[in-house]
Amino acid sequence: MEPLTSAILYRVSTALTFRILRLLADGDFHSGATLARRLDVSRGTVWNAVRALDGLGLEVHRVPGRGYRLAEPFSLLDRAAIARHAGDASARLAIEVADVADSTNSMLMARAATGAASGTVLAAEWQESGRGRRGRAWHAGLGGGVTFSLLWRFVQGPSALAGLSLAAGLALVRAMSALGAGDVALKWPNDVLWRNGKLAGLLIEMHGDALGPSAVVIGIGINVRLSDAVRSRIDQPAEDLETASGGAVDRNAVLGRVLAELTSMLDAFSRDGFAPLRAEWERHHAHQDQAVTVTLPDGRSHEGIARGVGDDGALLFETGNAVRRLHSAELSLRGASRSEARRARTDA
């Protein structure tokens, strides 16, 4: 199929496209004529909307005489279902699901500045400008992931929140484990891995007075099901939750469980900081006591051993006869894999 033009891609953002998606989500065939009649549009408009869904990574079967059908089941995010899976935590959350968002983080940061309540959640079926750490784009096919942001307010100032991204990552590990994914690991400072492929990532943005209070927006992207087309756009090893858990996963259950774990974690962090979580974080550290290469923000690289993290979440990096504390760096593994390192420590 020829590439979509920018005009067609723009139409993906319209309510019509998602109205058609909701009709197709039942997995049955729907003729173009039926869709056009139900939506009071032309068959050509329906054709363009279905073509736009192709461009978002959804495979749509077209059968003459029968119409359109999604190749795989599709479940849309639903606020009530998310709240149900979040359990008691839902009472403290204001959950909103948008069809399309430019960036859930940017939108919540703007709302925070105008007084949005702590616990505000914005999830998007499609994020047009989703980004990760250092401005990298976050790639996910429509329905293949969970992307959302959570606003949380702290009485402390930003300088007192060191280690928050690590605590949020640990909440993701707990949630992924509860959803059936075993041996989930953490890459400092804020990536969640499975078998050395990125399973989820997070981006934290904050503002506030030096002594408090502060508003923090935690943006999270989780790979639930990665298509070949999406994998081809990702410039690093990636994995998805359905592979890690060995079966189909309800995205509403994923988001609900993650919100429950985050709420609990943020309460604990607000009260005690990162120090009590340090040992648990290190148990999941993908590079614990392994040879690594650290690339600093200025581009210089150093080789050494990752010795865990400090009480403030700083990376403890041993090089020569000294242990350095790093607060901002790119970490890449050099040498033994995690399983090999485990065997080596067991055999020693």
Q: Which residues are catalytic?
A: 133, 198, 334
Residue 259 structure tokens? 């919100």
Residue 157 structure tokens? 């100032």
Q: Longest Cα pair distance anywhere in the chain, in angstroms?
A: 74
- Quote the CA–CA distance of 267 and 271 in Å, as a whole number: 6
Edge-to-edge strand list for the sheet holding 315-319: 322-326, 315-319, 301-309, 291-295, 330-333
Report the residue count for the chain. 348
DSSP string across 33-45:
HHHHHHHTS-HHH
Secondary structure letter of residue 212 according to DSSP: S
3-state SS, one letter per residue, for 247-277? CCCCHHHHHHHHHHHHHHHHHHHHHHCCHHH
Contacts of 289 (CB under 8 A, 6+ apart): 305, 306, 307, 308, 341, 345
142: phi then psi, degrees, rounded to nearest 5:
-60, 125
